[in-house]
Structure 1
Amino acid sequence: MQEVIRPQLLPKRQVKLAPLLARANLLITRDIEWANIMFAFEQENRYAIVDACYPGSPVGHIREQSNIIFRQLLRSRRPFIARITDAMGNEIFRVRRPFWLINSTIYAEVDGEEVGVVHRRWHLWRRIYDLYLGNKQFAVVENPGFWNWTFTLKDEDDKVLAQIDRDWRGVGFELFTDAGQYVIRFGDDSSPKSGLAAAIQELEVARPLTMSERAVAVALAVSLDNDYFSRSGGWGLPILIAGE
């Protein structure tokens, strides 16, 4: 059953996050960066957020803000702030990622206040992330690496809390662009399935995530895109992209 949000029972922070994050599934798609493809010029990342049940128009956007020089020199290790907004452009929360050398860290902030953080833990091939609210860890991701593109959030008892899947978009997109697509699944949803939601497998979870925890999960998706799925340069000439 779709989660019922009662604003009068939620803290102010939860009320602000709920209109965007109180959904069973979110589809986050990164825009094609033509300057990066053609000239190896690193652009600010842009993403559209879609409710899988209503795919006709975005319910929100993610827009990076970063220094143009740092983007070209540091590439995926650059520091940046990304604003997560509703469809009208009103900021809901933001994520902040400092420069990193070995292990990346990304923070979720609401109204300038840090609510959670994601730390990447170094491993030779596995992709491991620790997710915190304040100083308390609420989830861990232990992806086996290589060609596995499913990142499952689990609690201390190894029970599933949520899942992030990076979707294959076709040879043209995957080889020549940074236009990744991610499905964040927050749990079972018995509401009528329509649009893209009909193709998304339901996920059984140990408990529903709070709105703050969901904001940290979105921050993780942004971090994954930059850590593992961003190209380091372009091709230096125009290329016709043909998606499947």
Structure 2
Amino acid sequence: MMYLLRLRRPFVALITDALGNELFRVRRPFWWITSSIFAEIDGKEVGVVHRRWHLWKRIYDLYLGNEQFAVVENPGFWNWTFTLKDFDGEVLAQIDRDWRGFGFEILTDAGQYVIRFGSSDPGSKIGLANAIQDLGVSRPLTLAERAVTVALAISLDNDYFSRHGGWGLPFLEVGE
């Protein structure tokens, strides 16, 4: 039974800085049909992401407290770009799951994500960040909104891209 429910099991993820200091937590309780994931800063819940069920679209509502600040309506199953938009349809941020090659995607459960929060100073980019294009956004997100956006990225990985053990094709899993 646990094998069948493993994608729905609860978890807590700690997001830390380079020195190991906790910045915030992401908590996901057990779920049956639609999932929710919570962002907590200093032990206080600041926001939540609720997944809405749809036959082929991936739809998520993002909240700070009881107020919705963004929605993601991914148009289809093979689209791996998730754009956060406000109620006016303006872009706030974007999450991309990078394609890393056929063999890597089929044979491993490792994903690579890029979260773009908007325009930045090009001079401040170093290393691999130079390859990431800037994103035009209507406004910068607050720290709490960014924490909820990271929670969304974790939820996307858990909901759609992780097989949680085993090996094989993405839609055909072979035991643990």
Using structure 1 for the length normalisation, give the TM-score: 0.65
Q: Find the residue that maps to 2:97 and give its secondary structure.
A: strand
Q: Once the 2 structures are TM-superposed, how far is the Cα of residue 90 of structure 1 from its aligned partner?
A: 1.6
Residue 159 of structure 2 aligns with an amino acid whose one-letter code is D
Q: Distance in 2 between matches of 1:107 and 1:213?
A: 12
Q: Distance in 2 between matches of 1:228 and 1:118?
A: 15
| Alignment match of 2:138 (pick from 206, 210, 214) | 206
> Contact 2:119/2:137 (CA < 8 Å) preserved in 1?
yes
Q: Find the residue that maps to 2:55 and give its secondary structure.
A: coil
Is 1:75–2:2 an aligned residue pair?
no
Q: Find the residue that maps to 2:106 and give its secondary structure.
A: helix
Partner of 1:227 in structure 2? 159
Q: Distance in 2 between matches of 1:194 and 1:92?
A: 22
Q: Once the 2 structures are TM-superposed, how far is the Cα of residue 172 of structure 1 from its aligned partner?
A: 2.4
Q: Distance in 1 between matches of 2:17 and 2:121?
A: 25
1:235 to 1:186, Cα distance in 2 relative to 1, 3 A: closer
After the TM superposition, list the runs of 4 or more consecutive aligned residues in structure 1 that deviate by more than 3 angstroms.
none
Q: Distance in 2 between matches of 1:97 and 1:137?
A: 19
Query: Structure 2: which 5+ runs fail to align?
Result: 169-176
Q: Distance in 1 between matches of 2:98 and 2:167?
A: 23
> Contact 1:117/1:133 (CA < 8 Å) preserved in 2?
yes
Aligned residues: 167
Partner of 2:58 in structure 1? 127
Is 1:179–2:110 an aligned residue pair?
yes
Q: Once the 2 structures are TM-superposed, how far is the Cα of residue 194 of structure 1 from its aligned partner?
A: 3.3
Q: Find the residue that maps to 1:140 and give its secondary structure.
A: strand
Q: Once the 2 structures are TM-superposed, how far is the Cα of residue 121 of structure 1 from its aligned partner?
A: 0.4
Q: Find the residue that maps to 1:188 and give its secondary structure.
A: coil
Higher Rg of the two aligned structures: 1
Q: Once the 2 structures are TM-superposed, how far is the Cα of residue 232 of structure 1 from its aligned partner?
A: 5.0
1:180 to 1:139, Cα distance in 2 relative to 1, 3 A: same
Partner of 1:112 in structure 2? 43
Partner of 1:160 in structure 2? 91
Residue 213 of structure 1 aligns with an amino acid whose one-letter code is E
Query: Structure 1: which 5+ runs fail to align?
Result: 1-68, 237-244
Residue identity over aligned pairs, in percent, reads: 78
- Cα-to-partner distance string for 1:104-160 (whole Å, 9 max, x where unaligned): 100000111000000000000000000000000000000012110000000000000
Matches within 5 A, 1:10-25: none
Residue 85 of structure 2 aligns with an amino acid whose one-letter code is K
Q: Distance in 2 between matches of 1:183 and 1:102?
A: 27
Partner of 2:70 in structure 1? 139
Residue 227 of structure 1 aligns with an amino acid whose one-letter code is D
Residue 200 of structure 1 aligns with an amino acid whose one-letter code is I
